[in-house]
Structure 1
């Protein structure tokens, strides 16, 4: 990857480029509407740097307010993502994560897979397997 490793920090949260097509977002504690707006800006910037990418979101130690969920579903673009992996989500977070992804798919131009795993290692494994499947499909 020509681009140097990059990291964005805001409030108690951070997003970092981990590979040529993957970024990891770590959220701690409350996620405010302002945090969500900044997250969306970072995700858009990542798309300009990486093209479509995998986003791994560690959300198990966070909570997002309703306005933030709505903002994400209305402002993030499905074409930014190859896949979305939520790490450590509880049942409520899984429900909202699926709803946000569905909303992006209905308003976007492309589709992407969304999954939920328990650990960051599981997320990396899922991304590696998904990449391999996509490469086999592409032939």
Structure 2
């Protein structure tokens, strides 16, 4: 499980770094990610484009957005749309309002899903 707190606007450089970490970790084992968006103001245009074009759904079991506002929900749905247009499966995405709700959701998801796939 990976818990990330986003602060301020995500730049192209930060998006590139985060995608690299997702690839590094997710290529070994699918990730459950909680993205805490309570202090985030969004992505800059290039960062959003880079993330949507380079994130692979195979890296994730699920992504849970904590405290997401409309801008975050639109970005998450945009990434899912790009994945569909590329012929890729989409990553299950959830939106929650509190840390407690995120923890309960993760516990439920982890108990009902098959063990995460191990990648060679």
Give the alignment's TM-score, normalised by structure 1: 0.73
Deviating beyond 2 angstroms after TM superposition, the runs of 4 or more aligned structure 1 residues are 104-112
Correspondence for 1:56: 34
In the TM superposition, what is the alpha-carbon distance from 1:105 to its structure 2 partner?
4.2
Give the alignment's TM-score, normalised by structure 2: 0.83
Correspondence for 1:30: 9
The 5 A counterparts of 1:1-139 are 22-49=1-28, 51-62=29-40, 63-107=42-86, 109-135=88-114
In the TM superposition, what is the alpha-carbon distance from 1:86 to its structure 2 partner?
0.7
In the TM superposition, what is the alpha-carbon distance from 1:125 to its structure 2 partner?
1.3
| Distance in 2, Cα, partners of 1:101 & 1:92 | 14
| Distance in 1, Cα, partners of 2:73 & 2:59 | 21
Q: Gaps spanning 5+ residues in structure 1: where?
A: 1-21
**For the structure 1 residues 111 and 26, does the alpha-carbon distance in structure 2 shift closer, same or farther, using more than 3 Å as the test?**
same
**For the structure 1 residues 105 and 127, does the alpha-carbon distance in structure 2 shift closer, same or farther, using more than 3 Å as the test?**
farther
Q: Gaps spanning 5+ residues in structure 2: where?
A: 115-120
| Distance in 2, Cα, partners of 1:52 & 1:125 | 19
Contact 1:33 1:68 in 2 (8 A): yes
Normalized per residue, the structure richer in strand is 1
Contact 1:77 1:108 in 2 (8 A): no
1:76-108 Cα shifts (integer Å, max 9, x gaps): 100000001111111121111111133234436
Higher relative contact order (CA 8 A, sep 6+): 2
Aligned residues: 113
